[in-house]
DNA sequence: GTGGCAATATTGTCCGACAAGTAGACAACT
DNA sequence: AGTTGTCTACTTGTCGGACAATATTGCCAC
């Protein structure tokens, strides 16, 4: 199937489209992406496909070992723990600074209202506004590198979400309340309180995610493209090693 | 026991070598790197040179816009501020955690001893052990992503150092004392104290760096690609340290 | 001098080719 | 049997050349 793309640069477009396909689950974790595959699907030269794959590999969206074909990254419980802990490390100190200034970013407040709204509307698709709440806090300190680091983590969270296709839900009610409490503590200038609340908030989310990733092995899906019938996939883990 | 072996590819090798040349100043900030240039210098195909350049671009070692040739990144005062602020954000919370556990990483302690030793020996080449002090703290929380983020920042600090070829110095004596104080406060479980000390420590370094980057416009030199008569400054006796 | 045009340099993309590495199957050998 | 060797099919890593699109430079006319 030929996929259409808008041309900024061929490689840019392919990279973007593939990334999109990964986050929305069209390319499930672990599915292989050969250079030829990509080049024919988009009708471009192999070198261009290769470049796109390399970029996504450097972004950790794909993983590839030496002479082997790239695969969509699979995030396990350990990764989730790591991602959330790093989020906590980064966001805690930012929160303390904001509390010191008693400054609450508008974008975070509106994002939290959105979640509440969605919840009242019966929707549970709150991942996006939830992320905006947090990135709003981070971005408000106006540090490009801090923002970049956090956004990278946020992207990985999205990958996790794509991975467990909407099973698992965190109660929007609790989320909204905790977010509100965090903003309140910032306004009160209570740095320790805000940091503690954030820790609790993210730690709960972390444990829930870890549980639903590690606890339930899930439906153990097949990877559609180019897999022989009844292929027992995914037993390799060792790179170029010698015993 | 499983032993790992590394097999380097052409692109890997070039990438590494170029990166090395950037950090040790052989390729000064702003110098252009055309694909043809690189491909002929290393005697490889242009596609390989291109791949290496793209990797370094994604690492922020080089910068490149649309159809223009890549250049070695130039870090200005704003970048330095950003880098150090992000360091502070990340490292503060890690320090608090360590203080909570009253845990002092051995590697940081030994690294600080090294600085003291070098200072007593009359040397001012303390950038490396200084970084090891800080990465020792970060790495001790055992989070791959946190470490990766911090190491990326540390690399940018190295770039800054390369950029101002050893004018400017921060007294090793003060550095060692502050490091020691930080470790002491961790041992005492004083999270706030440790975080405050770190803030002071890094903020001073930041301001010094910002000053010597922004205040002095510098020699505003031409970029002589590969060996022009004008020998770079590089006097090794001079205090060549900023933190 | 300055605007504009032509020559040049450099990138972005394509193609085709081939060596080298990986993986699975199957035969051969001890 | 179980280990080892070989074959084949697939894929990656690298090469070299080619060409259009774009950026840079230098020159010319005004």
- Test A82 with B55 for CB contact under 8 angstroms: no
Give the nearest chain B residue to A156 (CA atoms): B145
Tell me, what's the pLDDT at A229? 34
pLDDT value of position B123: 79
Q: Would an 8 Å CB–CB cutoff place A51 in contact with chain B?
A: yes
Burial label for A172, CB within 10 Å (0-12, 13-18, 19+), is: buried
Instruction: Say which CATH number the domain at A20 has.
Output: 1.10.10.10
Residues B30 and B92 grouped into a single domain: no
Interface test with A, best of B62, B146, B156 (most A CBs within 10 A): B146
Contact A119, A126 (CB under 8 A): yes
B191 falls within a domain: yes
Q: Is residue A67 included in any domain, yes or no? A: yes
Q: Does B90 lie in the same domain as B209? A: yes
Which CATH number covers residue B164? 1.20.120.530
Give the bridge partners for B70, in sequence order.
Answer: B33
Within this chain, do residues B94 and B112 fall inside the same structural domain, yes or no?
yes
Residue numbers in chain B where pLDDT is lower than 50:
216-243
* Ramachandran assignment for B32, one of left (phi > 0), alpha (psi -120 to 50 degrees), beta (any other): beta
Contact status, residue B221 vs residue B138, Cβ threshold 8 Å? no
- Angle among Cα A90, A96, A100 to the nearest 5 degrees reads 150
Domain boundary among A72, A88, A112: A72
Q: Which two tokens stand for residue A132?
A: 């905006």
What pTM was estimated for this model as a whole?
A: 0.86
- How many inter-chain contacts (A to B, CB under 8 Å) are there? 85
Total structural domains in chain A?
2
- Please measure the distance between the N-terminal and C-terminal CA atoms of chain B and give it in whole angstroms: 40
Q: Which residues of B touch A59 (CB under 8 A)?
A: 58
Q: Are residues A105 and A16 in the same domain?
A: no
Instruction: Look at A123-127, A217-221, B44-48 and tell me which has the smallest mean pLDDT.
Output: A217-221
B92 touches chain A (CB under 8 A): yes
Q: How far apart are CA A168 and CA A52, in angstroms?
A: 32
Mean pLDDT of chain A: 86
Q: pLDDT-based confidence at A221, cuts 50/70/90?
A: very low
A16 & A110 share domain = no
Looking at residue B157, its pLDDT comes to: 96
Token pair of B35 as six digits = 């694909």
- HEC profile of chain A: CCCCCCCCCHHHHHHHHHHHHHHCCCCCCCCEECHHHHHHHHCCCHHHHHHHHHHHHHCCCEECCCCCCEEECCCCHHHHHHHHHHHHHHHHHHHHHHHHHCCCCHHHHHHHHHHHHHHHCCCCCCHHHHHHHHHHHHHCCCCHHHHHHHHHHHHHHHHHHHHCCCCCCCCHHHHHHHHHHHHHHHHHCCHHHHHHHHHHHHHHHHHHHHHHHHHCCCCCCCCCCCCCCCCCCCCCCCCCEEC
B88 shares its domain with B24: no
What pLDDT score was predicted for residue B233?
31
Q: Is residue B63 part of a domain?
A: yes
Residue A171: per-residue pLDDT: 86
Question: How far apart, in whole angstroms, are the C-alpha atoms of residue B115 and residue B126?
Answer: 6
Domain boundary among A38, A56, A72: A72
- In this predicted structure, the answer to whether residue A223 has a pLDDT above a threshold of 90 is no
Q: Which domain range does residue B53 map to?
A: 10-72
Specify whether B33 is located in the same domain as B81: no
Confidence at residue B44, expressed as pLDDT on a 0 to 100 scale: 97
Domain end point (choices B31, B47, B72): B72
Using an 8 Å Cβ cutoff, are A223 and A32 in contact?
yes
Residues 6+ apart with CB under 8 A from B144: A82
pLDDT in tens, A11-70: 999 999 999 999 999 999 999 999 999 999 999 999 999 999 999 999 999 999 989 999
Residues A151 and A205 in one domain: yes
- Do A143 and A130 fall into the same domain? yes
Residue A228 in any domain: the answer is: no
Residue B196 belongs to a domain: yes
* Angle, helix A35-42 to helix A46-58, in steps of 10 degrees: 120
Provide the CB-side half-sphere exposure for B100 (13 A, CA): 7
Distances (CA, A) of A29 to A66, A128, A162, A221: 19, 21, 9, 10
User: Does A93 lie at the interface with B, CB-CB under 8 angstroms?
Assistant: yes
Instruction: Beginning with the edge strand found earlier in the chain, give each strand of the sheet holding B70-72 in spatial order.
Output: B32-33, B70-72, B62-63
Distances (CA, A) of B239 to B9, B122, B158, B178, B180: 39, 10, 16, 19, 22
**Contact check, Cβ <8 Å, B4/A54:** no
Report yes or no on A203 lying in a domain.
Answer: yes
Exposure string of B38-49, with b = 16+ CB inside 10 Å and e = fewer, is bbeebebeeebb
Tens-digit pLDDT profile for residues B78-117: 999 999 999 999 999 999 999 999 999 999 999 999 999 9
What is the rounded CA–CA span in Å between residue A78 and residue A62? 17
Same domain, B60 and B108: no
A232 pLDDT above the threshold of 60: no
Q: Is residue A222 part of a domain?
A: no
Rounded CA Rg of chain A: 20
Residues of B in contact with A94 (CB under 8 A): 89
Strand C: positions under 7 A of a protein C-beta atom: 9-17, 20-23
Same domain assignment for residues A62 and A112: no
Helix (H, G, I), strand (E, B) or coil at B70: strand
Which has the higher per-residue pLDDT, A7 or B130?
A: B130
Residue A85 counted as domain residue: yes
Q: Are residues B126 and B187 located together in one domain of the fold?
A: yes
- Closest residue to D12 (CA, C1′): A67
- Whether A146 sits inside 8 A of B51 (CB atoms) is no
* Cβ neighbours of B164 (radius 10 Å): 19
């Amino acid at each position: 199937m030929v996929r259409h793309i808008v041309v900024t640069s061929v490689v840019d477009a392919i990279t973007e489209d593939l990334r999109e396909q990964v986050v929305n689950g069209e390319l499930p974790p672990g599915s292989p992406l050969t250079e030829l595959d990509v080049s024919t699907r988009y009708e471009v030269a192999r070198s261009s496909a290769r470049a796109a794959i390399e970029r996504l590999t450097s972004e950790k969206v794909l993983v590839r070992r030496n002479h082997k074909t790239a695969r969509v990254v699979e995030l396990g419980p350990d990764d989730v723990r790591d991602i959330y802990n790093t989020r906590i490390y980064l966001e805690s100190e930012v929160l303390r600074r904001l509390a010191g200034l008693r400054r609450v970013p508008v974008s975070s407040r509106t994002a939290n209202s959105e979640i509440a709204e969605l919840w009242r509307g019966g929707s549970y698709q709150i991942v996006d506004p939830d992320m905006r709440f947090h990135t709003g806090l981070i971005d408000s300190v106006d540090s490009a590198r801090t923002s970049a680091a956090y956004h990278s983590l946020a992207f990985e969270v999205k990958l996790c979400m794509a991975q467990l296709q909407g099973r698992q839900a965190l109660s929007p009610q609790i989320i909204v309340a905790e977010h509100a409490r965090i903003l309140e503590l910032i306004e009160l200038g209570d740095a320790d309180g805000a940091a503690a609340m954030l820790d609790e908030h993210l730690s709960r989310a972390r444990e829930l995610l870890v549980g639903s990733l590690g606890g339930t092995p899930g439906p153990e899906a097949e990877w559609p493209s180019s897999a022989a019938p009844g292929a027992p996939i995914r037993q390799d883990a060792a790179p170029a090693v010698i015993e």
